[in-house]
């Protein structure tokens, strides 16, 4: 992904976030910072070359989100932006590769919160979500027996995400959610720079359809922009 496209992507994400916040008339607003973790060994946007376990834990990265709620209708909305840049070494087919990869995503959720709190303490909501994602990975072989490989993936992910909020004070709270009920539609492209192949043979691309392609768990720390007693929907 060249620098111009990356700057355009960042600008559009920021403009969307700013515009959504201006249009929101609800009094219940919060900013969240998530820590993201994989469930299992596979994650959205990572082609087979990069699926060998490259670390000792399932930490995926961090994301930032802005959420707001209609206090009368109990609707919940959330816009989440995430980006990940990594460099690492991976062994694949007896060849060591130095890998640099980049992933960016923007997710919008529109859900409904339960009127009654669980145990008179916890807040639960179920949010249908639309996720736009982009991935680019470049692998450089560290031995002469391998060849450089480039992967690009992008698409749309539809999912249902349950949220559980645990209050920590008038403004602070924890948000726990899991994403495993989903379906994705995307386009994938790979080029293997093997000189024994023609340029056309080096390139492989096509449409990608997957169910449960994203299996992740998030732990978020949220901060309400207004105090809880004046902000929460009234029963």
Buried b / exposed e across 89-106, counting CB within 10 Å, b at 16+? Answer: ebebeeeebebebbbbbb
pTM of the full predicted structure? 0.75
pLDDT of 32 reads: 93
Q: Which residue in 5, 26, 15, 32 sits closest to 224, CA to CA?
A: 32
Answer for the pair 39, 63: CB distance below 8 angstroms, yes or no.
no
Token pair of 170, please? 């008038």
Residue 73 predicted with pLDDT over 70: no
Higher pLDDT, 116 or 96: 96
The pLDDT tens digits of the residues spanning 149-190 come to: 888 888 898 998 999 999 998 889 999 999 878 888 888 888
Average pLDDT, the chain: 77
> Domains in the chain, please, with CATH?
3-231 (2.40.160.70)
Residues 6+ apart with CB under 8 A from 130: 107, 108, 156, 157, 158
């Amino acid at each position: 992904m060249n620098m111009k496209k990356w700057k355009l992507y960042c600008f559009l994400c920021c403009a969307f976030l700013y515009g959504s916040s201006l249009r929101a008339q609800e009094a219940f607003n919060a900013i969240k910072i998530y820590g993201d973790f994989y469930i299992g060994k596979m994650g959205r946007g990572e082609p087979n070359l990069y699926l060998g376990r490259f670390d000792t834990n399932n930490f995926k990265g961090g994301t930032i989100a802005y959420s707001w709620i209609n206090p009368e209708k109990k609707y919940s909305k959330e816009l989440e932006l995430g980006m990940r840049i990594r460099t690492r070494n991976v062994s694949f087919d007896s060849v060591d590769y130095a890998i640099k990869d980049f992933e960016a995503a923007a997710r919008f959720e529109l859900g409904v919160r339960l009127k009654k709190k669980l145990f008179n303490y916890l807040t639960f909501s179920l949010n249908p979500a639309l996720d736009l994602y982009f991935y680019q990975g470049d692998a450089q072989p560290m031995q002469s027996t391998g060849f450089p490989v480039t992967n690009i993936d992008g698409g749309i992910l539809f999912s249902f995400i349950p949220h559980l909020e645990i209050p920590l004070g008038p403004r602070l709270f924890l948000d726990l959610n899991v994403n495993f009920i989903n379906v994705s539609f995307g386009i994938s492209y790979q080029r293997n720079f093997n000189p024994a192949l023609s340029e056309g043979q080096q390139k492989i691309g096509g449409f990608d359809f997957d169910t449960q392609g994203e299996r992740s768990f998030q732990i978020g720390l949220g901060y309400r922009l207004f105090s809880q007693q004046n902000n929460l929907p009234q029963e």
